[in-house]
A and B are shown apart, each in its own frame.
Chain A
Amino acid sequence: MSGPKSTDLALQLLRKLPRIGIGNLKPLPQFKSKPYGRGPRNTGIDGGRNYPEQQKKGSQPPMGFEGGSSPYYTRHPVQWYYRDHHLKRQYPPLSMFSLQRSIDIGLIDASSPIDLVTLCNTQIYKIDPTQRHFGVNLTEDGLQIFKAKVNIEVQWTTEAVIAAVERNGGTITCAYFDPYSLAAMTDVKRFFEKGIPIPRRTLPPENCLEFYSDPKSRGYLADPAEVSRARVELAQKLGYQLPDLTKDPQYEMLTRRKDPRQVFYDLEPGWIVNLQDEVVLKPADEEVRQYYRS
C-alpha cells in the first residue's frame, strides 16, 4: 500500500469506475441549494421557508411590556459591570515568545530600536486604533527562553517582562501614543501617502499618567536617573546580575529614546514625508514650528 489507506482505496476504486469527466461531477450534498417554489413537497404560503409571522399578523407589543405595569427589567437597580467598557483602553498582547521567534527568523532586526512601527511592519502583529487599541502589551509567555538584547518600546507590560529584557542587557520603555499617532504608526505607508504632517504626540490622559511617569514601569516620562536606580532595585529584588550598559558596545542604540512629543525615530512632528519625490518637507513658518515644538 502506498499513501494513506483511504487515499489508496479511493484511487483503487477509481480504476473500476468510468473516466472522470466534466459531465459526471457532483458537489457535496450539503452545498446543494434548497429547492424553492411550487411542488409536491413545497406547499403552503411560504414554500418550505420561513415566513415572518409578525409581518403577517401585524405589530406586537415590545418585548418585556407587561401591560402597563412596571416591567421586570426596570423594577430593580442596575449594576454597571460594564460601565464605560467601550471607552477603556485596550492593549492587544504580544508574547515574548513571538518576539523572540520574530527576531530569530529575521522578521525583526534587534540591532536597531524596536517600537510599534517595527512590530506592525512584520504583519504578524496588528492593532486597530479605531477599536480603541492603544498599542502593544508585551506579555510574559516565553519569558524563560527570551535571549535577545533589545531596545524595545511598548505601551504596557509587567515587571517580569522588564526584568527578562534587562537581564539580557537590553532596555525597555513604556510609552503612550494617542490614537492619531497610532494610526500613523500602524500603517506608515498609507499615512505618508496622505501627505499630512506627522502629528505631535499628546501627553497621556489623567488615568494613566502615573503609569507612564513611574520609573518602576519604565515610563517614558520618568526621570532617567530614577529609572537607572529602579533597574538596579529590580535586579536586586529578583536576584540577577544587571549588565553594565555603559560598557556595552551598543550603548548608543540601547539608550536611544524618542522625545515625548515624537512619533517616529529620526522624524519630528510637523514634517511631511513625500514618498514620490523622496524628500522630507520641514515647516518654515515660525508660528507652525512653535505649534509643533516639544
Chain B
Amino acid sequence: MFGLISPLLRSTVTKQWTKVLNPAQGPIPSGFLSSLGTIPSRLQSSESKTGLITERNYRFPPSGFVPSREAWVESLETIEDKKVGLVPLHPEVFAEFPRIDVIHTNIKWQTLYKHVDYSFARTRAEMPGGGRKPWPQKKSGRARHGSIRSPLWKGGGKAKGPRGPKTYFYLFHADMRSKGLKAVLSAKLAQDDIHIVDSFESLPSEDPKFLDALTAKRNWGLSVLFVDDTDFMPKNIALACHRRPGFTLMPVYGLNCYSMLKHETLVLTLAALNKIEERILTFDRRLKIRDFRDNTRPPVKKI
C-alpha cells in the first residue's frame, strides 16, 4: 500500500494511516481496506453509514506509465480531520510540470482581458477657444505663440495623451488555459493545498464559527475556495460562507487559475474532482484537425 503512495504524500499519509488504523481513536467505516482484500472483523463498524472510498471510474484511464497521485477524502462532518477514503488522482492533471511561466501568462490574461482604460485627455483641437493668436508675431518682445490651447501652455491641450476608453481584451489560446489549470492543480497538490471532501452536504452546521473552527483545526489557512460540480450549493455551506470574506463557493465551470492562486486552499468535492479531470482530459485528447493533416507533403507541382 505504501509503495503506491507517492513520495510527496508519504509523510502525511503515514501519520494519518496509523491514526485511522487504531480502532480506539474512533469508529472505522465499514468497507475500509476493501482494496487490500479481506477486512478484519474488528475493524468493521455498524455505526458508519458509508464505505471507504478507494476507487474511481475514469472516463480516460491513465496510461499506467506514470503512477497516479493519491489524496485522502475528508469529511466536513466533524471539526477534527476525519478520513473517509483514499482516491487516486489522474497523473495527467495532478502530476504535470508546474510551469510558472504558463501560470503567469494565464494570470496576465485574466487580469488584462477585462481591463478597460478609461483615461482620456483632450487635444488642443478638442478644447474650447484657442483660435485667436494671443499677441502679434513680432514687436511685442514676448515669445511667439499662435494659440492659448497649445500643449506648451498651462491649461492647454494634451499632446499624445491617453485616448480612452481603450480595451486590453485579447483571446488566449485554449491549450495554454488547459495547461495553466493543470500546472496550478499540480503545484497546489504538491504544496498540500488541495483537499478532497466527499460532499458539501456533510457540513452539519450553518454557523460560520463551525467552518472557521474546522479550517483552523485542519490548517486550511485564511482563504479557502470550495468547488462543487453544481452551482446549487447545500444550504449549510452557503450560509456559512455568506459574508465570510476569504471563503468562496464556486462551481466547476468557474474554476480558473486566478481564483485558485488567490485562495490559500482549494477544497474539491469528489464530484467536482471527476468533472474537472473529465473536462481537462476531454479537451486534451480531442481530435484535432492537424492529426489528420499529411505533414509529409511534397512540394507543389508547377505546370
Contacts and interface: CB of A to CB of B under 8 A. Distances in A.
Interface of A: 1-4, 6-8, 10-12, 14-15, 19-22, 25-28, 31, 85, 88-95, 97-98, 101-102, 105, 107, 122-124, 137, 139, 141, 156, 208
A2 B69 contact: yes
Contacts of B66: 2-4
Given A2-B67, A11-B186, A141-B298, A124 B293 contact: yes
Contacts of A95: 294, 296-298
A91 B7 CA distance: 58
A137 B100 contact: no
Nearest to A11: B190
B298 A93 contact: yes
Contacts of B258: 22
B107 A10 contact: no
A208 to B, nearest CB: 7
Interface in B65-119: 66-67, 69, 91, 95-98, 100-101, 103-105, 107-108
A101 B292 CA distance: 8
- What is the interface residue range for chain B against chain A? 35 or more
A10 B191 contact: no
Contact of B297 (A11, A25, A93): A93
A10 B189 CA distance: 12
Nearest to A211: B303
Contacts of B228: none
Interface string B280-303: 000000000100111011111111
A12 to B, nearest CB: 7
B91 A98 contact: no
Interface string B112-146: 00000000000000000000000000000000000
Contacts of A14: 98, 187, 190-191
B262 interface: yes
B16 interface: no
Contacts of A208: 303
A156 B301 contact: yes
Contacts of B193: 19
A11 B8 contact: yes
B262 A22 contact: yes
Given A3-B66, A22-B258, A91-B301, A10 B98 contact: yes
Contacts of A124: 289, 292-294
Given A27-B104, A27-B108, 12 more contacts: A1-B7, A2-B6, A2-B7, A2-B66, A2-B67, A6-B97, A7-B96, A11-B8, A20-B261, A90-B302, A95-B296, A137-B300
A90 B300 contact: yes
Nearest to A91: B301
B188 interface: yes
Contacts of B188: 20
B166 to A, nearest CB: 18
A85 B108 CA distance: 47
Of A89, A93, A101, A122, the most chain B CB neighbours within 10 A belong to: A93
B212 interface: no
Contact of A2 (B91, B264, B293): B91
A20 B95 contact: no
Interface string B173-197: 0000000000010111011110000
Given A20-B188, A124-B292, A3 B301 contact: no
